[in-house]
A and B are shown apart, each in its own frame.
Chain A
Amino acid sequence: MMYDNFALDCFVILYLTFNRFESLAAKGYLLKKYRFQGVSGFSALGSPKQSQDRTKINSWFNRVFNTGGQILFKKISLTASAALLVSTSFVAAETLNWARAGDSLTMDPHAQNEGPTHTLAHQIYEPLLLRDNTGAVEAALATEWGPSADNPNIWEFKLREGVTYHDGAEFDSEDVVFSITRAMSEHSNMKELLSSVKEVRATGKYSVEIETNGPNPIMASNLTNLFMMDKGWAEANDAVAVQDIEGGEETFASRNTNGTGPYKLVSRAADSLTELEAFDGYWGKGEFPLEITKINYTPIKNPATRVAALLSGEVDFIQDVPVQDLARVDGDENLQVITAPQNRVIFFGLNQGDADLKTDDVEGKNPFADLRVRQAMNMAINREAIQKIVMRDQSIPAGVAMPPFVNGWTEALDTLPSSDLDAAKALMADAGYGDGFSVTLHCPNDRYINDEPICQAAVGMFAQIGITVNLDAKPKAQHFPQIANSETDFYMLGWGVPTFDSAYIFNFLVHTRSDERGSWNGTRYSNAEVDEMIVSLESETDLDVRDATVAKIWAQVQEDVLYLPIHHQVLNWGTSNKIDTVVSPEDQPKFKYFTLK
């Protein structure tokens, strides 16, 4: 029974109210009893049973404070913190306070193709197909899908019936045609993923088909971040066109939302606080846990502050826990760390195509052009030491520049090169660089987990085989353009593969740099034979032949030591130990799957 200590509770609350000196014992009593956490705006994660209790208390509070207690209330707010804590944050909802390093850039679901933007959008909008928290593709707004039996260039989708938007409008095939067309329009940032699409057609109220230029075996993967909007809502609010961020445009859809997703947007202050609450009319009620009913999302940029907010109980869930703080978080009795390999590999790229390097001290020659130098460097990297010390075991040393989730990955490819320093030195001597050389390594310092320390450690490792590496670490906004503009000879890059297919890697990292392909290939590597094989993947319908070609390309890439792989990143989420979830390999929590212990 909840009210067995009712008199005592009243006493404690009154005591707190009138006592300017916060009594820790009294506060502790309340906090413990009602499982409050934190200092301000505590979270109320608890069991459903507790939640009912809380509803009762809530109404009791309303009675006390809203009837005779108006003046009293004002006084409390100025004197006793604990009492106000009780009165304002006392909600029946299961609130989740969530923080990560960056904020969403826009609420327009098609204007940006970027992690934090998609993650927030996933709570509000839904795609046809979804990757669940384990990375598996599952039905969202489409219930059945697959290539047409008659025409390999057509994908057919059967849509979920009885789905409504947050404003009550009904979801149907018209919206799918509208949304995909919208995502292919000029200002959309999602259009690259749909470049093979020729047309989208509604074939019934709840069925659509997508016609592509040639067969597209990975269509399903391309649709998992492609959100569905209501056509009527967009038209009524003048939001048919995608927000043109470049042209400096702000549309209704960039600040307002109307999705079919489990949560609706309550309020949003960019870089500060975004509030979501559960959508009562969600189609998935009963199918998903949906135990969290309110979400407060705050970006916290400074890593130490983010961890502090978790440790102090002000937030219940942070996405980017610095690796050195994992032990502290995990050791806290109210917190836990959950971990999973991420779909991202970290590696170094070497300019092996140019005749001479800009940043080295070798005249008229490019040391990286010599295979033996690249092999020696590959052997000089002590991946286990990086894993142990820099990453605190939170990485998987890699032998290939491809995350293990990707089609084409094999254990053999991912075998680590031997880290044999003597053999490496011998190779260097063989290549005529026994006395070493110097070169500049470009590295981001705000993009990947411990990016700068990894580069720093690598500097020491390359020094062992005589290569003097000057480290130039800078923010991503300065680092990545150097790769794009071929201004770096030696750089760090990380690559995630949203399509889970090798072709995605080849198109961007291996193919000769051209207008359409190879835009992230900073190695100046150009192999006509490989290019041809890469292009052939696009239209190859026989999956066995396709896989064989993929394997062949990888064999060549490994033989040529195109990249020096370091490791696969591991994701760490720090949460209140009341949360039960697995980590999604795309670093996209979807809160409808979260359960509470």
Chain B
Amino acid sequence: MDMLKRAIASDLFWSFKRSPVAVISALVAITLILAAVFAPLLAPYNPFDPASLNLMNGFSKPMEPNAFTGESFVLGTDDQGRDVLSTILYGMRISLFVGALAVLFAMVIGVVLGLVAAYAGGRTDAIIMRIADVQLTFPSILVAMLIFGIAKGFTPIHLRDQMAIWVLIISIGLSDWVQFARVVRGAALVEKSKEYVEAAILIGRGPVAIIFKHILPNVLSPVLVIATISLALAIISEATLSFLGVGAPPTQPSLGTLIRIGQGYLFSGEWWILFFPAVTLLLLALSVNLLGDWLRDALNPKLDD
């Protein structure tokens, strides 16, 4: 098993080295992720601390001293006098946090349900896949809006501000699990009919062991590809939800919230409020997407010519 893993890893690495696109995207993605993780150390200000803000700094142009306060900001400030560079770093943190946890959530639900459906078959399979149908029936944004609405209703008033992020994670995650379940179920059905599973059954291993020890490792590569692409998708979904008014709160903005706020300044000349967050989001999503792309090709040896 270990040997196999190492082989995949080295194969992957070899193909990685051969692809300049993959290398560059990986560099960009890792830089952005590190910048987000270490935002409190890197950012010149803490935009989430309202007491530190001075409204009069609002709308400072990049690299130019503010007309009222004389302070200067590298990427300018937004409508609340927040340093744009700092809000981007902190916002990216929120976006990545939401995206990563949402994908993880979707992955866990999807993989477990997919495996169970494939292994158990029959009625269990039918029920699970029918639930997946219900889920598919509702387009993802609607699902997220719906869950967001319900969860907000259940959350105690004074916790809502902090809960918004978790609600986002759950709603994006829940709208996303079906594709994991479908792919895993499909792959697992193939695995199930292979001899090694039959052999495992014959030697009397329990279903849980068979599912997780034998089948799961063999369906992981499509899961990895979907997870990567879903991460980019989840970050964009969060931005879209923010446009519909159900995103991260403006006091703790994500990249999506920043873009939603910034698009109001497209015509007014304060381009930096929109431009920098949008470019950051584009770089982030693009590099993750390209990585996912490369991963799909790399894990699909048939395509290698």
Contact = CB atoms under 8 A, between A and B. Distances in A.
The answer on direct contact between A and B (beta carbons under 8 Å) is yes
- Most A CB within 10 A of own CB, among B50, B160, B245: B50
Contacts of A276: none
Interface string B256-280: 0000000111111110000000000
Contacts of A324: 79, 264-265, 268, 270
Contacts of A445: 245
A440 B157 CA distance: 8
Interface of B: 49-51, 53-56, 58-59, 68, 79-81, 157-158, 160-162, 245, 249-251, 263-270
Contacts of B263: 304
Contact of A308 (B79, B161, B162, B267): B267
A373 B246 CA distance: 33
B249 A385 contact: no
A388 interface: yes
Contact of A327 (B158, B250, B269): B269
A16 interface: no
Contact of B158 (A311, A440, A452): A440
B79 A390 contact: yes
B152 to A, nearest CB: 8
Interface string A301-339: 001100110010000000000101101100000000000
Most A CB within 10 A of own CB, among B55, B160, B264, B266: B55
A417 interface: no
A459 B55 CA distance: 11
A457 B157 contact: no
A470 B158 contact: yes
| Chain B interface, >50% SS class | loop
A198 to B, nearest CB: 44
A358 B157 contact: yes
A472 B160 CA distance: 7
A471 B268 CA distance: 27
A452 B51 CA distance: 18
Contacts of B51: 460, 463-464
- Interface bin, chain A: 35 or more
B39 to A, nearest CB: 20
Q: In this complex, which of A327, A360, A382, A459 has the most chain B Cβ atoms within 10 angstroms of its Cβ?
A: A459
Contacts of A457: 55, 80
Nearest to B160: A472
B267 A460 contact: no
Contacts of A385: 55-56
Nearest to A472: B160
A389 B157 contact: no
A437 B60 CA distance: 31
A389 B55 contact: yes
Nearest to A384: B56
A440 B161 contact: yes
Nearest to A471: B251
B58 A389 contact: yes
Interface in A465-519: 468-475, 487-488
A473 B161 CA distance: 9
Contact of A460 (B80, B264, B265, B269): B80
Contacts of B161: 440, 470-472
Given A304-B267, A460-B54, A462-B50, 9 more contacts: A324-B265, A324-B270, A328-B269, A460-B50, A460-B53, A469-B50, A470-B158, A471-B249, A471-B250
